[in-house]
């Protein structure tokens, strides 16, 4: 018989797969959790980790690690599932939802704990609720500041670099103000796409099918770079979005100046433009 009072599952989570691949955070989390288990007299049944990605909109508890935890709890003999911090289980109210689900699945009334928890009882529950609300408030404040900073960078006529630039372009310029320049090979494919749609009157599905049949390499993505086998070729969604994207639409310096007058761009942006050229708007 397993002594339920002395058994624990240690749960760790990082917010991105890149952190997991670089060995960041997870080893430190489990090191602290093991020390807690030894100090409190718990026998560790298993260490379970989730390595990033957003919570599913369909089911916020649908993560590989969380699914494994639920399976282990349902088998019985688990006293506590513990994480370094409450928000490692997810944003509020995910910890409360998970605690309820574990209690429902477990014959042994498995509990959910975090090393930063306020303890047990109603006062502790209120403390955890307030801590969760404060963390959510801080994330909203951080997101608002980040958005304000990015908007100001865009007002200066710069782009916000992502993992990969928009297909058809590549980054250029100084690090503090990246801009786009045409990637000749990729833009040649985009010209072909627009020609098929506008002149040959080929539908979006037909364009995707022809590009795949002719073996045209599909746009690069971070996931595709790491896992080439996941390349599904050209998609109708990509082509449809490209048709309506302003980044492929030419604008004269006069049109750009109008954006300055409306307050979307800083006044000195137009001074950097050459009158005889056309520009895209990202």
Worst-scoring range by mean pLDDT, 26-40, 98-112, 113-127, 240-254? Answer: 113-127
| Mean pLDDT lowest among 3-12, 91-100, 117-126, 202-211 | 117-126
Q: Give dist(CA 282, CA 280) in Å, integer.
A: 6
What count of Cα atoms within 13 Å lies in the side-chain half-sphere of residue 33?
30
- Report the sign of the C-alpha dihedral through residues 256, 257, 260, 261, in that order: negative
Q: What is the pLDDT of residue 184?
A: 95
The closest alpha carbon to 86, from 127, 42, 40, belongs to 127
Which of the four CATH numbers 3.40.50.1390, 3.40.50.800, 3.40.640.10, 3.40.50.2300 does domain 4-117 have?
3.40.50.1390
- Whole-angstrom distance, CA of residue 189 vs CA of residue 191: 5
The pLDDT of residue 20 is 46
Structure confidence at residue 282 (pLDDT): 84
Question: What is the structure's pLDDT at 200?
Answer: 96
pLDDT at residue 207 in the model: 96
pTM for the whole thing? Answer: 0.55
Mean pLDDT for the chain overall: 85
Question: DSSP state, 50?
Answer: E
Structure confidence at residue 23 (pLDDT): 45
Please give the Cα distance from 201 to 207 (Å, whole number): 10
Indicate whether 2 pLDDT > 60: no
Q: What per-residue confidence (pLDDT) applies to 175?
A: 85
Task: Name the least confident of 1-10, 117-126, 270-279.
Answer: 117-126
Residues 45-84: tens digit of each pLDDT: 999 999 865 555 446 688 899 999 999 999 999 999 999 9
- pLDDT, tens digit, for every residue of 213-248? 999 999 988 766 666 666 778 999 999 998 889 899
Q: What is the pLDDT of residue 37?
A: 96
Q: For residue 19, what are the contacts with CB-CB under 8 A and spacing of at least 6?
A: 25, 26, 51, 52
Q: What is the mean pLDDT of residues 93-115?
A: 87
Tell me the per-residue pLDDT of 110-155, one tens digit each, with 9 for 90 and over: 999 999 876 665 666 666 667 667 777 777 888 888 888 888 988 8
DSSP assignments along 250-264, one per residue: -B-HHHHHHHHHTTS
Read off the pLDDT of each residue in 181-190 and give the average, rounded to a whole number.
Answer: 94
Residue 273 predicted with pLDDT over 90: no
Residue ranges covered by each domain of the chain: 4-117, 169-248
């Amino acid at each position: 018989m397993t002594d339920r009072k002395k058994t624990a599952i240690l749960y760790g989570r990082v917010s991105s797969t890149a952190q997991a691949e670089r060995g960041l955070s997870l080893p430190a989390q489990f090191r602290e959790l093991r020390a807690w288990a030894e100090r409190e007299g718990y026998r560790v049944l298993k260490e379970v980790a989730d390595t990033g990605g957003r919570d599913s909109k369909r089911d916020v508890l649908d993560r590989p690690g969380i699914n494994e935890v639920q399976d282990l709890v349902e088998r019985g003999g688990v006293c506590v599932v513990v994480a370094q911090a409450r928000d490692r289980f997810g944003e509020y109210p995910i910890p409360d939802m998970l605690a309820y689900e574990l209690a429902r699945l477990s014959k042994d009334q498995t509990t959910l704990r975090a090393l930063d928890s306020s303890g047990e009882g109603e006062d502790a529950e209120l403390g955890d609720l307030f801590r969760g609300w404060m963390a959510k408030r801080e994330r909203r404040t951080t997101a608002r500041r980040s958005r304000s900073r990015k908007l100001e960078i865009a007002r200066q006529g710069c782009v916000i670099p992502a993992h990969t630039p928009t297909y058809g372009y590549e980054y250029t310029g100084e690090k503090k103000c990246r801009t786009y320049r045409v990637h000749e090979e990729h833009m040649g494919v985009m010209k072909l796409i627009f020609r098929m749609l506008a002149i040959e009157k080929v539908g979006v599905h037909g364009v995707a099918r022809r590009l795949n049949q002719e073996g045209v390499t599909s746009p690069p993505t971070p996931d595709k770079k790491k896992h080439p086998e996941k390349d599904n070729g050209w998609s109708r969604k990509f082509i449809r979005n490209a048709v309506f994207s302003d980044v492929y639409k030419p604008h004269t310096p006069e049109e750009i100046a109008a954006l300055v007058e409306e307050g979307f761009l800083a006044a000195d942006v137009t001074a950097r433009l050459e009158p005889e050229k056309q520009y895209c708007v990202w």
